[in-house]
Amino acid sequence: MTIPASGLQIRSEVRADGTLHLSLVDEPTRAPGPNDVLVRIEAAPLNPSDLGLLFGGADMTTATASGTAGRPEVTATLPPAAVAMMAGRAGQSLPVGNEGGGVVIAAGSSPAAQALLGETVGVLGGAMYSQFRTLNVAQCLALPEGVTPSQGASCFVNPLTALGMTETMKREGHKALVHTAAASNLGQMLVKLCKADGIPLVNVVRRPEQAALLRSIGAEHVCDSSSPSFMADLTGAMADTGATIAFDAIGGGRQGGQILAAMEAAAARAMPEFSRYGSTVHKQLYIYGGLDRGPTEFNRAFGMAWSMGGWLLTPFLERIGPAAAQALRERVASEITTTFASAYTREVSLAETLSLEAIAVYGKQATGEKYLVTPQKSLA
């Protein structure tokens, strides 16, 4: 196999004038070092966690297209507040794409690298919206026989996040958990995982059709925030499950506080006497996403035994240590077509990824609309 000299790669640049520029560049291929492999990237998902880097805080309703069919360019404007927040990346042309799936077409001399030659792998490490990536073997997860690169494209972010939630729940002494934006790809995966592991799960969604979707895949506790009985439903679900930890993808608005208040109301039902400090049951909310970019607001109607904080996959994996993290990865590989299977609504080439029409759909991060970038697909 000859190593290709270069391959196309999506780039995102925020300029000092407050504009975002998306483009395709021809990126030279780096020859693998002893412990590296060269992966032909066949598929890479457009995860919510990729869009922040891709769009750089720009208002994508201002996007305009230029360039050619094979080398499209997109320009958009950042709101003034975003310009300051993006100052740290101004002027840098950044590659994008946290994870993907592909085939190892060249390998370094080490036994670990050689063992991967010809294998289908899930890969993590940025710049996956590229045709070729040279990666350390530690960034690759070998997939079982018969698994395709598309099936293995989402081995890390969603599966490890779902496992990270249930692991965090166990390690912090909780016995049931709450998840918001629960009809998402990740949310559906969490339903399957919790079912497999016997973990009671409270799913919070925003629309009746999302509740129906989750029930159709076996979710037991589903609370629809658009329902007038939402707070009562939520409190009932907390009482039924004993959930005292929540993972929130929304971030902004009042729902995080409502979840803590429902946990407290369920705990208060079991209290023998009044305490002005509320229950002693510790209630935890982790914010891991920002689907609502607006401010977070809550009225602290949940006593004093509560905590709210950011949650990110990478620091979590560092905290649990390499052996525990590897065990989670191996579970993902073995269940990638069942518990951890992902579904996509459309496959797009690198060029199509930069079309205004595609951006208008995947940029919304709407539940049920998930795109898969397929860098080997012909450009137009």
- Asked if 276 interacts with its own copies (CB under 8 A), we say yes
Smallest distance, its own copies to C-beta of residue 74, A: 19
Joined together, the tokens standing for residue 153 give: 């494209």
Q: How many residues bind its own copies (CB under 8 A)?
A: 37
Cβ 68 to its own copies shortest distance, Å: 29
Amino acid identity of residue 230, one-letter, is F
Q: Binder to its own copies among 146, 198, 309, 321 (CB under 8 A)?
A: 309
> Using the rule CB under 8 A, is 145 a contact of its own copies?
no
- CA pair distance 172, 380, nearest whole angstrom: 49
Contact present, 285 and 259 (Cβ < 8 Å): yes
Nearer to its own copies, 31 or 87 (CB): 87
Q: How far is Cα 302 from Cα 281, in angstroms, rounded to an integer?
A: 10
Binding mask 68-107 for its own copies (x = CB under 8 A): -----------------x--xx--x---------------
How many angstroms separate the CA atoms of 79 and 91, rounded?
Answer: 17
Q: Least distance from C-beta 298 to its own copies, angstroms?
A: 6
Our CB check for its own copies shows the closer of 216 and 299 to be 299
Assigned token pair, 155: 């081995």
- Paired residues of 116 in beta bridges: none
CB of 112 to its own copies, least distance (A): 28
Segment holding 240, helix H or strand E:
helix 230-241
Residue 375 CB, shortest distance to its own copies, in Å, is 22
For 311-322, give the DSSP string: --HHHHHHHH-H
CA 332 to chain CA mean position, Å: 15
138 binds its own copies (CB under 8 A): no
Binding test (CB under 8 A) with its own copies, winner from 80, 111, 228, 315: 315
Tokens of 234: 């939520």
Coil, strand or helix at 242: coil
| HEC readout, 342-374 | CCCCEEECHHHHCCHHHHHHHCCCCCCCCEEEC
Q: Which of 129, 247, 306, 340 binds its own copies (CB under 8 A)?
A: 306
Site string for its own copies, 31-50 (x = CB under 8 A): --------------------
Span from 128-136, 200-208, 300-308, 334-342 in contact with its own copies (CB under 8 A): 300-308
Cα 21 to Cα 78, 93, 177, 219, 362: the distances in Å are 11, 9, 40, 42, 18
169 to 188: interface string for its own copies, x by CB under 8 A: --------------------
- Residue 41: closest CA among 29, 52, 50: 29
β-sheet bridge partners, residue 98? none
CB atoms within 10 A of CB 289: 20
Instruction: Decide: is 311 part of the binding site for its own copies (CB under 8 A).
Output: yes
Taking the least distance from each CB to its own copies, the nearer of 55 and 132 is 55
Contact residue for its own copies among 111, 146, 198, 295 (CB under 8 A): 295
Segment (H or E) for 220 = none
Contact code string over 232-271 relative to its own copies, x by CB under 8 A: -------------------xx---------------x--x
Write the Ramachandran bin of 131: left for phi over 0, alpha for psi from -120 to 50, otherwise beta: alpha
Contact between 296 and its own copies by CB under 8 A: the answer reads yes
Binding residue (CB under 8 A) for its own copies from 53, 112, 115, 341: 53
CB of 49 to its own copies, least distance (A): 9
| Residue 259, CB-side half-sphere exposure with 13 Å CA sphere | 37
Q: Which residues contribute to the site for its own copies (CB under 8 A)?
A: 52-53, 85, 88-89, 92, 251-252, 268, 271, 273-277, 280, 287, 290, 294-301, 303-312, 315
